Every structure is written in C-alpha cells, then in structure tokens.
Structure 1
Amino acid sequence: MSNSPPTYGDLGKPARDVFDKGYDFPKVKLSLKTKTESGVEFDTSGSHDLEKSRTTGQLKTKLKFPDYGVTFSESWSTAAEIDSELVYEPSAVAGLKLTLGSALVPTSGFRQARLKAGYRRDYVSLDGDVDLRVNGPIFRGSAVFMYNGWYAGYQMAYNTSNTKLEANNVAGGYQGSDFTVHGSLMNAADCTTSVHHKVSDKTEVGLLTTYNWQTSNVSLGLAGKYVMDDGAVMKTKVNNQGQIGVSYAQDLRSGVKLTLSGMLEGRNVQAGGHKFGLALDFES
C-alpha cells in the first residue's frame, strides 16, 4: 500500500541506514546471488570475523508463485540451523500478509515454529506474531499510525515462560518528502532520537543520539553519504567516543560490487584498536 506507514521496525530506518549500511568491519564478506530460468533464487554468503577469527556461511533459496501469492524460502547455515518460511499474500485481501516459519538446530535439538500476520492499509500498519516454543510461546505485536506525515507506534513482546513483558516500546515522529525526524523509548530506559535529511539525489546526512535513563550514558553520532558522478558511494561517520568510520563502495562491473570500510579510534590513534572491513558482492 503506497500510503501505508512503515512497520514499527522500519521507523527511523533512513537515518540508521546512513550510519550502518556499508560498514562491514571487522569482517571480510563474500556474497553471491543468482536466479535460475525457472525463478528459483539462490543467495550464498560467507564472512570471516577478523577479531574473533571465526568463519560463518549461509545458503538461502527462494521460490515464488506469484499467481497464488505464495513465496517459499529456506536457509541453511554453518551453525547447523535450518530455517523455513512460507508466505501467503491473498489477492482478495489487499495489504494482508500471512507467514508460517520454522527453525531447527539438529545438533542441539532446538526447534521452533512461528506464526506471523501483517496488515497494511492507508494510515495504519499492524503486525503480530507468536513463537511456539517447548517452554512456552512468546507473543509479539506492533502498530503504527500515520496521518499527514506524523506517525506514532507501539511495540510489545510477552514471554509466557517467565510471564515477563520483554518489550514495551513507543515511537513517534514526522516523515516528510526529504527529511525524517524520529524518536523512540525502549522499555522506559533507552531513549533514541534521529534526524535524516536527503539534501539532494546524491547527498544524505543523519544525526543519531541515544540516552539511557538508568545509567545516564549518552551517545551522539553524525553521518553522511555522497554518491559520486561515477556511481561510487562514499560514507563517513563520527561519534562522541572519537570513533571515525569511513566506507567506500564501487561497482567494479555489472553485478560486481566492492565495499571497503574502516573505523579509526580517533582519541588514541597510537593504541590501535582500529578496524577494517571488506565486502565483495556478486549478483546475476
């Protein structure tokens, strides 16, 4: 739905993307996306953590049946986890999305099923899901309402195994044509505010602040993104801890993208602790 608001998890996303996307440190990543003539999609990825000296990988497959509004996907990881998901979007009910998912780890015996439902209409976005676990289900729900750019949202999660409200979050803000102002409060403790401004088709800037009411810890960050004439993307960010991040992404050829990123500990350059990341993406 073109006039429906974002889901709760996507509120404030424009600013987060300026801060997070393209920064892969401290990992070296490789991904390959392909699609067969019959429409089956394959997404293979692997990464090596330079700090933990740990290598992980994952294979995802996706098959779509657009005539029936059905999508089936499955993934396998080096952590021996197998995830499956079946999505149904009935054409008779615009904006409705139903999902049945499962997770299985044969080595540990962990297994879980999840039922999800989402509904998008003008001015409203609703989501609900339940994790069916052996020790008791977990219920989650969220709602976002938007009118003339102003929005408000609520998100909750309740764990029946320990009768605990694990998430009790609220958010609000304004989304304009070229800027977004967002604020949220998580579990009455973490307060986050962000501003995103799309200065032009090539330039974006973001501001992000967080404050914890219990510890009084404050963080402040400023980030920018610039698209060069040749299509390369240059990003940089800095925070009040003196950490400076830089990212550079370039299409080497059609379907091949290289991303280099790093973080400099600006307060103590000689002490080390700097981080480096590299990502190479293939798509055909």
Structure 2
Amino acid sequence: MSLPQPVPPSWKDLGKSSNDLLSKDFPISGTVLEVKTSTPSNVTFKVNGTRDNKSKHILGDLEAKYTDKAHGLVFTQAWTTKNVLKTQVELENQIAKGLKLDLSTALTPDTGSKTAIFTTTYKQPGLHSRAFLDVFKVRGLLALLAPPSPRTPSSAGTASCSVQRRRTTSRRARSPSTRLRSASAPEYAVTLHGLGNLSTFAASYYHRVNPDVEAGAKAVYDTKATTQGVSLEVGAKAYLDSAAFVKAKINNSGILALGYTQSLRPGVRASFGLALDTQRLNEVSPEGPAHKVGASFTFEG
C-alpha cells in the first residue's frame, strides 16, 4: 500500500531555508520599527516605519487585517506614506478544497495609477498549480508546480517538483526556460536552479548542524553579467539561548555582515546589524559609505 502523495511546495519555497538564513535578521540598510496589535474580533493592526540610511527618508504604512477562519476569508487594507492604497481579499477552501482565490489591488490617487492582480492557487496531492491575471493588462501566466511531462506546453512558465518528506527526497523539474534539482532531508536541503533560458545558474544548501547551529551558502553564475565569475555567499546562525541568536555572513566581495537578535520580553524583539567592507578597513577616508549599521524593533501584542 503506497503512502499518500504530499502536495509539492511552491516555487518560491524551494531553497527558502538557505535564502532566509542569508537574508533575514540583517537590518543594515536603516532603522525599522514595527508595531502590531490584535483584537478579540480577529482584526490585526500593524504600523511599519523604515528610515533609509542612504536617502534619509522615512517610509511607512498602516495596515488593518480581518480574518474569518470559519469562512476562509482574509481582508487586508493598507495605506502607505507614498499615498498608495492597497487592498487584498483572500478566499480559501470555500469553492473547492485546496483552491485559494486572491485579489490584490493598489491605487495611487495622486497619479491615478492602479493595478489589480487576480491569483488562483490549487493544491492537491502531487499537484501545486498557480495562475494569475493582471486585470488591467489582461495577461495571465500559469505555473505548474508538479511532476512535468513531455507534453507540458511552453506557455506553462516554470515548473518544479520538490517534496519535503521525512525521508531524503531528490526530484528534478524542467520547463523550456528552467531546470531545477532539489534534495532534502530533515537536517539539510540542497537546491540547484537554472533560470532565464539557462543563462543564470544558482546552487544553495542549508544544513542544521545541531539544534543550536545552522549553516548555509549560495552560489550564482550569471552568463549575462558584466563581471565574470561566480558570486558566492556563506553564512551561519547560532542560538545563544532561547531568547537570543547571532548571525554572520560574508561574500566573495569581502562584505561581512553581522546580526544580533534579542527577545526582550514576550512580543518585544530587537535586532541590530552591521556590514563591513573588509577590503576597505584600513582606508582613512574611504569614498562613499564603506560600512553600514542598522537596527530593527518589533512590538507585538
């Protein structure tokens, strides 16, 4: 008797562990403040503000989200400091099991600019499909995230099949413009990508060394890039205790990034980041910003 086939992950989730390790919790571009509160009536309010170190500008947004789990409905409304009104309506598992409908709109009253993207996602054992339609441009794209077949049409966009399971998994996926191979186990994940008609190649790995230490790396080779060679980045994360961890990463350009995150109390978290150009440490007066520093504060209640 065969086991039920799991739902394949979405394309963006492939290599997610490595990407999160190398990109998150490094607040080096400025200062970020996020305040989030929830009400007993399933309404969540969030205020987010960011001060960019380079431009010195402060950008932010105010967001309200209503969730009705009984009917699979999520309604989100946001207003940004650039005077952009954003609305998102999500409906899941109501019309059919595994089907999710999503309508995301944005309106800029100052210029009259507007966008509306309608997305459908359908998940079943062995199948993960996604289709979206730009309402104002009337252009759709279908991406099938399931085991491909020779009859897969060229309009299907990208395809992938990689399933996270308790045993080691190794799958391959192909489309006219993309190749992918992924292997995973509970303690590691390896992903290979061939993108843009095989003009860009990427390889990444993530390894949970032990419960307190994680490591990962990513290499990218772009045949169309002006600079030759492979871009390489490697990083690690170590938990100091149950409330704090440190992260570090360095790339082949000599940029070293350090991050420290501390939970001060339930719902309150602070992160600090530092980026150093190790090739310019001895310069007395370097041209341009050689090093960066930033912080992030999150309050949730």
**TM-score, normalising length: structure 2:** 0.84
Partner of 2:207: 197
Amino acid at match of 1:179: Y
Offset, 1:196? 0.4
User: For residues 100 and 48 of structure 1, do their structure 2 counterparts lie closer, same or farther at Cα, with a shift above 3 Å needed?
Assistant: same
Query: Which structure 2 residues correspond to residues 125-140 of structure 1 after superposition, within 5 A?
Result: 125-133=128-136, 136-140=137-141
Partner of 1:63: 66
Distance 2:82 2:229 in 1: 34
* Cα deviations by residue, 1:244-276 (Å, 9 ceiling, x for unpaired): 010000011111100000110001112351011
Distance 1:79 1:12 in 2: 33
Partner of 1:252: 264
Contact 1:81/1:103 (<8 A) preserved: yes
Offset, 1:150? 2.6
* Cα deviations by residue, 1:94-142 (Å, 9 ceiling, x for unpaired): 3211112211111111112111011122232211111122xx3332332
Partner of 2:88: 85
Choose between structure 1 and 2: higher strand proportion: 1
Amino acid at match of 2:89: L
Q: 1:173 aligns with which of 178, 182, 187?
A: 182
Mean Cα deviation higher: 75-84 or 117-126:
117-126
**Identical columns (%):** 25
SS at match of 2:71: coil
- Segments of 5+ residues of structure 2 without an aligned counterpart are 146-160
- Segments of 5+ residues of structure 1 without an aligned counterpart are 157-167
Q: Number of aligned pairs?
A: 271
SS at match of 1:79: coil
SS at match of 2:279: coil
Distance 1:32 1:91 in 2: 32
Contact 1:7/1:143 (<8 A) preserved: no
SS at match of 1:228: strand
Query: Which structure 2 residues correspond to residues 1-284 of structure 1 after superposition, within 5 A?
Result: 3-91=6-94, 93-133=96-136, 136-144=137-145, 145-146=161-162, 149-153=169-173, 168-188=177-197, 189-215=199-225, 216-269=228-281, 270=283, 271=286, 273-284=290-301
Offset, 1:9? 1.3
User: For residues 45 and 153 of structure 1, do their structure 2 counterparts lie closer, same or farther at Cα, with a shift above 3 Å needed?
Assistant: farther
* Cα deviations by residue, 1:133-179 (Å, 9 ceiling, x for unpaired): 2xx333233222245623445689xxxxxxxxxxx444331121111
Distance 1:117 1:170 in 2: 24
SS at match of 2:241: coil
Distance 2:203 2:194 in 1: 9
* Cα deviations by residue, 1:55-113 (Å, 9 ceiling, x for unpaired): 10011111111111111111111111111111111256332111122111111111121
User: For residues 242 and 146 of structure 1, do their structure 2 counterparts lie closer, same or farther at Cα, with a shift above 3 Å needed?
Assistant: closer
Mean Cα deviation higher: 55-64 or 182-191:
182-191
SS at match of 1:267: helix
SS at match of 2:21: helix
Amino acid at match of 1:258: A
**TM-score, normalising length: structure 1:** 0.89
